[in-house]
Amino acid sequence: PRLANQIAAGEVVERPASVLKELVENALDAGARRVDVEVEQGGARLIRVRDDGVGIPEAELPLALSRHATSKIATLDDLEAVGSLAFRGEALASISSVSRLTLTSRTVEQEAASRVEVEGRDMDARVSPAAHPVGTTVEVRDLFFNTPARRKFLRTEKTEFGHVEEVLRRQALGRFDTGFTLRHNQKVVHSLRPAETELDHERRIGSLCGQKFIDNAVVIDAEATGLRLRGWVALPTFSRSQADLQYFFVNGRVIRDRLVAHAVRQAYRDVLYNNRHPAFVLYLELDPANVDVNVHPTKHEVRFRDGRLVHDFIFRTLHRALADVRP
């Protein structure tokens, strides 16, 4: 079983950023309104995620670290919402098999918190009392300490931290109602309170995507035939030298989709005669019955029931918004 765990770990745990993704998703699943992330050395030395979610009952702590430990599929509806069983309940087990992992948690019913620690293949979880407010902290130290071959594949601290920041950026762009902080080597990189007002939203976008993006963006907000598109699209006055700034969320989930990319690019070119990659943060909402989201952990694909309708809606909305502000 130990070997099986380590093999499975390869599917989920590629680098510090993939650990962070799983931990933040768990925190959000637990209803957290606040997620504090701390990493050291790009995450190779430490990844710590603290949340104020519902916590894990003491008796279930060791269980949370065993394979297929999910507490999240109770009904057939859940199963459909999740889409695939294959990767449920694997994350913590996989991560703990290639790191030194500590899980500290307290539920509202408990007077004190408890902690469970595991170190790599040593799967005998030790449970001890601890101090912690209601919620959970997961601490992952020395990732791949027992799999040197994989540790060798880690890139520089800067590169790994770049991936870590990207994971947090996506999560924070998708959940305005939740506060996030990110610290690297004791320095605050992002501090985002829950966003309520329009101004809060723009502040968050400014912090995550750069003030220049928000200063040079058109606000999008349109609705038609059961579709709603909101967000920001940059004007050509925004020039970005780094990687693409392209985020598209469908019902709160970040996706990459050719049909969507095509609609955006076409509107952009049509109006602005501009061949550069557009920069955007967009949110599409539609009836979940009209979209099939593939939840494979490494893919972010969607299939729309009526792709043409979606394409035309995105194209026309952006076309109109951009044409309005064309100099």
Q: Which residues bind ligand ADP (CB under 6 A)?
A: 22, 26-27, 30, 51, 53-56, 64, 69-72, 88-93, 136
27 binds, among Mg ion, ligand ADP, none (CB under 5 to 8 A by kind): ligand ADP
Residues 6+ apart with CB under 8 A from 98: 6, 9, 13, 120, 143, 144, 145, 146, 147, 150
Torsion angle, alpha carbons of 186, 191, 193, 196, to 10: -170
Nearer to ligand ADP, 56 or 282 (CB): 56
Q: Residue 137 CB, nearest distance to ligand ADP (Å)?
A: 8
Nearer to ligand ADP, 222 or 295 (CB): 295
The stretch near Mg ion (CB under 5 A) out of 84-92, 145-153, 200-208, 225-233 is 84-92
3-class SS of residue 317: helix
Q: Residue 8 CB, nearest distance to Mg ion (Å)?
A: 13
Q: Residue 114 CB, nearest distance to ligand ADP (Å)?
A: 13
3-class SS of residue 262: helix
Question: Which of these, 55, 52, 46, 1, lies nearest to 19 by C-alpha position?
Answer: 46
Pattern of binders to Mg ion over 7-36, x per CB under 5 A?
-------------------x----------
d(CA 214, CA 320): 19
Q: Residue 74 CB, nearest distance to Mg ion (Å)?
A: 15
Residue 5 in contact with Mg ion, rule: CB under 5 A: no
Between residue 88 and residue 127, which ones bind Mg ion under the rule CB under 5 A?
Answer: 91
Q: Residue 130 CB, nearest distance to ligand ADP (Å)?
A: 15
Tell me if 95 sits within 8 A of 87, measured CB to CB: no
3-class SS of residue 47: strand
Residues 6+ apart with CB under 8 A from 213: 205, 206, 232, 234, 238, 240, 245, 279
35 binds, among ligand ADP, Mg ion, none (CB under 5 to 8 A by kind): none
Residue 136 in contact with Mg ion, rule: CB under 5 A: no
> Where on the chain is the footprint of Mg ion (CB under 5 A)?
26, 91
